[in-house]
Every structure is written in structure tokens, then in C-alpha cells.
Amino acid sequence: MRRSKEQTLKGLVSRAEGAFRELLAWVEEHPHATLAEIEDRVGELRGDLLASAIEGVIGLRGEGFQADGVKCQGCGKPMRFQGCREKVVQTTEGVIRVPRAYYYCPDCKEGLFPPR
């Protein structure tokens, strides 16, 4: 299901707040951490936050469901919507999950994930 911009923003702000709380708790547990150790910890959290941002922006596009259906490229008949499936994608910032609509043609035995 497509998320609204407001839902996406709230989710990202909540994730950022959680990451900063986690960082502050880590700092309390490691009062003598060196600059390099602090940078490493911030870097780990940064990757998670940026992956969440990528996932959030992708989520704004929806999963690719088309109410008017999808025609099979092989036979031209309407394909059947089979639900949404999740694809796990490794990005430069981390792993994200992308929901995608899946259609199937029973005549051609072909499946399709429409572009979003």
C-alpha cells in the first residue's frame, strides 16, 4: 500500500529520533570512547537511517498495483493480480525491503512485476 508523504515523514522522524537516542545511550555506556569509536558508531547509525530514507521514498511510489490491470506482453490478455511480494535489495547504505505488485498470465505461464 502506498504511504502518504506525511506518514513517511513521521516514520523517518521517529526512526531518526530512535537512532539519536540509541547513540546517546551508547555514549553513556562508553564514556571514554575515542573520536574514532564515536565516528564508527555514528557511521553505523547513519547507514541505517539513510537506508530507511531510501525505503521511505520508494514506498511513496506504491507497489505497482494497477487498478485497470496489466496486459500480457505475450498474448495480450489481461494478467491476474497475484498480490504483493517483497524484494530485499542491498543499497549502498544498507538493506531495504521493496513491496512489488505481481501479475501472472495463466495462458503464457509468465509473471510480471510492473515498473513503478
Q: How far apart are CA 67 and CA 51, in angstroms?
A: 29
Do 1 and 33 fall within a single domain?
yes
Residues of the chain with pLDDT below 70 are: 1-2, 65-67, 116
Which position has the grid cell 521511505?
56
DSSP code of residue 71: B
- So what's the pLDDT on residue 84? 87
> What is the number of domains present in the chain?
2
| Cα-based angle 84, 86, 89 (whole degrees, multiple of 5) | 145
Q: Domain range spanning residue 27?
A: 1-62
Shared domain check, 29 and 82: no
Residue corresponding to grid cell 543499497? 91
| Same domain for 53 and 10 | yes
Check whether residue 52 and residue 20 sit in a common domain: yes
Residues 84 and 55 in one domain: no
Distance CA 31, CA 48 (A): 23
Greatest extent of the chain over all pairs of C-alpha atoms, in Å: 68
